[in-house]
Amino acid sequence: MPYVTISLTPGLSAEKKKELMQRCSDAVVESIGAPLTSVRVVVHELADDAYMNAGQFGAEGVIIVVDMIEGRTQAQKDALIAMLSRAAAEVSGLTEESHVRVRVVDFPRGNMGMANGLTALAG
């Protein structure tokens, strides 16, 4: 684990989505030292009418949420947020300031399911 969920408004080609997923995966590995084999990335493309930013319906945007087991340093999380934000902006062509948001969620080890239906406490 970690799990990276990318929610984005329509408009990116399949190739750009693949590029964004790869860059997010690479950012997780590089910034927090997670093994590549544990990183999961999923894209959710929102409907045209399913996103509002700053009171504007139909705005463009990318929101990235990373769910991971607790224990990373603040410096690692800061690096992860910066790398994901930059990747989303560069791939989508949107600005980090107005259109890209990243959130990191730490889970206690007992609250995260792992392989074979076990919690992370088992590992």
User: Where do the domains of the chain lie, and which CATH numbers do they carry?
Assistant: 3-114 (3.30.429.10)
* Residue 46: C-alpha distances to residues 9, 26, 43, 116, 123 (Å): 5, 24, 9, 32, 36
pLDDT for 112 equals: 80
User: For 47-56, how does the pLDDT look when each residue is reduced to its tens digit (9 = 90+)?
Assistant: 988 999 999 9
pLDDT below 70 — which residues of the chain? 123
d(CA 17, CA 21): 6
pLDDT for 109 equals: 85
User: For 26-45, how does the pLDDT look when each residue is reduced to its tens digit (9 = 90+)?
Assistant: 999 999 999 999 999 999 99
pTM: 0.93
**Backbone Cα Rg of the chain:** 15
pLDDT for 123 equals: 64
d(CA 23, CA 28): 9
